[in-house]
Amino acid sequence: MKKPRPLDFELNENKIHEIEWKIKELSKRNRKLTKRVHGWLIAGFFLMFALLMFKDFEYHAPLIAFFPAIIFGISIAKFAVKYYTQSIHKPQFTKDLDYQNYLEYIRAKRDYENQYRGSKRARWGQLQKKDFETEVISLLRQAYDKVKLVHFNQEGGDGILLGNHTFVKCLSQKSPVSMKAIFPVEQILQHPQINRAIIISQSGFRKAYQQSAKLKAIQLWNINDLIDLERKCEH
């Protein structure tokens, strides 16, 4: 699939920036209008509450019925305002041909991105262990100046040295990586030469470890991170 360009949709960078600025301004206006609607509904809520305080007021039952309606109105106000400004009372610029071309361009970019990432994800995901490690090393060498294979005298000590102080470990397996597989990397972080570690997993990480890794000098990379790095190298 060919990467979409603005010119393919009769657009240029200036037109795109102008349309995106108008969209941003419309979003700001919607937020202000939503806050105003919330204010009206909340004021109505307190007004009815005040009226209910009068014991001899004869419309207690009808007023009570309005409370759920007000609460419901507050909860959907944001969506109602968005629908009103985008479907009922559309801004003039959304009727222009440039805006329609912009929407088609954005859809084409999204489709291209999904297809691009999908094909890359499939390629990385089907690599066998040795091939996965070889491809990772090749990619790191494209992206960074100093990349070499290293071995520390302990279990799981084989890996990649990125720069002078970053240890990189590739883990190729079909299920998300668990604490047991990552423990050797935590031990390598105690080496005086290493102050940071990157673990690259072909199948992601278990959620429990994702939280604990944030507290340590360990970055967790999955296939999406490799795809992002590939894209940087392409540019």
Structure confidence by residue, pLDDT tens digits, 128-141? 888 998 999 999 99
Q: In the chain, which residues have pLDDT < 70?
A: 1, 48-67, 69-70, 84-89, 153-157, 208, 210-216
pLDDT of residue 65: 63
Q: CB within 8 A of 175, min separation 6: which ones? A: 203
Alpha carbon distance 125, 173 (integer Å): 10
pLDDT of residue 60: 58
**Strand 147-151 relative to strand 158-162: parallel, antiparallel, unpaired?**
antiparallel
Q: What is the per-residue pLDDT for 155?
A: 59
CA distance 110 to 112: 5
Q: Is 149 in a helix, a strand, or coil?
A: strand
* pTM passes above 0.75: no
* pLDDT for the residue 103: 92
- Residues 192 and 161 sit within 8 Å (Cβ to Cβ): no
